[in-house]
Amino acid sequence: MLTALKVRLYPNKKQQIALAKNFGCCRFVWNFYLNKTNTQYQEIGKGLNYCDMAKDLTQLKKHENFLWLKEASSSALQQSLKNLETAFKNFFEHRAGFPKFKSKHKKQSLRYPAGCSIKKHGVQLPKLGIVKAVISKELMGEIKSVTVSKDSTDKYFAAILLEVEDVPTIKEGKISGVDLGLNSLVTVFDGETTYKVDPIKPTRKYAKRLRRRQQSLFRKKLGSNNRKKQVKRVAKVHHKIANTRQDFLHKISRKLVDENQVIVVEDLCVKGVARTKLAKSVLDAGFGMLVNFLASKLKRVGGILVEVDRLFPSTKLCNCCKFKNDSLTLNDREWVCPKCETHHDRDENAARNLREEGIRILSTNTDGQSEFQACGEDVSLVSNSAKKLSSMKQESPR
């Protein structure tokens, strides 16, 4: 199983200069062969593959005008070509957009596929030596690659990709339905109790500070050193917002994973909701990031994430009599069922319906595996390889 750990690097002045050269060489190789591939495709209708680019790079490094490419790690340059080939494959298979040229004014990164190791006080990188790093835990496993990056605030990071033994575990806990919302970020129902967690809204929290620094940026003369300094000050606020949101979502996801064996959420269309007037609040909440955190943490401990189809009317469906209230609007935070006259909290009712639907999906998607018991519910699990279940084309209650 592959896992990754991102650590902060503290290179000295000499290492910073060496990293800047490596960043520049990898960026040049990417842009040079992207342009060459585009030109050849326009001329003969066929681009360059990785083998063609690698052979040409060997000759390019011997040219008198490009001898400075030898200062960079050869493995990092080769990896840049592999990344370019992967970018083209993703484009032709409709998984991503067309590859773009890289700029030296944005985030810089490069990947070392080999020659890296963890030392007592840092990370050893090719042609750089040991770079001081803050490693929060002991790393067990084989290092597959190390990606070094420099963000817009001049901070250096290393993403270490490790291959560890996939130890099968059977997690014990509850089955919880989790409803995602804006008033309450998560509403959790575990079969007995319900609790809510309010969003922290980091974008609105730091809006005043961001506005003042952006106003100061707009007053600076284009191309001046003062403007460059102010750009970094604005970037620091954006990083503060992103880090605050990420830390909060990590804590919520860790709490949910520790308490539950199965977590049921709704498969929200975040991109679609982000086109509405609620776009700022939806993106600030980070629904997609939270679901990704839940999926990755559950996979490590042997839990299961179930995503209910977005067409399932979890909010409008009465949890008691299954009456569907089509007259419910976004402003109705509480409602009374016209059929059984049960008073419902909007988010709590949705969490209850999601939990029941998740149990139904688990019971339906079986392949002869043994049953488990969580919070009094007997449910048949799918195979261990299928950690994440999604209901496809469910029929919504009429």
List the catalytic residues: 179, 266, 347
Do the beta carbons of residue 91 and residue 98 sit within 8 Å? yes
How many Å apart are CA 351 and CA 39, to the nearest integer?
55
Q: Which residues fall within 8 angstroms of residue 172, CB to CB, at 6 or more apart?
A: 261, 374
Phi-psi region of 376 (alpha: psi -120 to 50; beta: other; left: phi over 0): left
Do the beta carbons of residue 9 and residue 123 sit within 8 Å? yes
How many Å apart are CA 215 and CA 81, to the nearest integer?
40
Q: What is the CA radius of gyration of the chain?
A: 26
- Opening angle at CA 280, ends 275 and 286, nearest 5: 95
Q: Assign 3-class secondary structure to 202-234.
A: HHHHCHHHHHHHHHHHHHCCCCCHHHHHHHHHH
DSSP letter assigned to residue 370: P
Cα distances (Å, whole numbers) of residue 243 to 110, 146, 365: 22, 22, 38
Cα 393 from chain centre: 26
Token output for 252 = 């919520």
Do the beta carbons of residue 387 and residue 228 sit within 8 Å? no
Q: Which amino acid is at 209?
A: R
How many Å apart are CA 348 and CA 333, to the nearest integer?
10
How many Å apart are CA 79 and CA 67, to the nearest integer?
19
Neighbours of 221 (CB within 10 A): 8
Three-state DSSP state, 9: strand
How many Å apart are CA 138 and CA 142, to the nearest integer?
12
DSSP 119-163: -SSEEEETTTEEEEEE--S---SEEEEEEEEE-TTS-EEEEEEEE
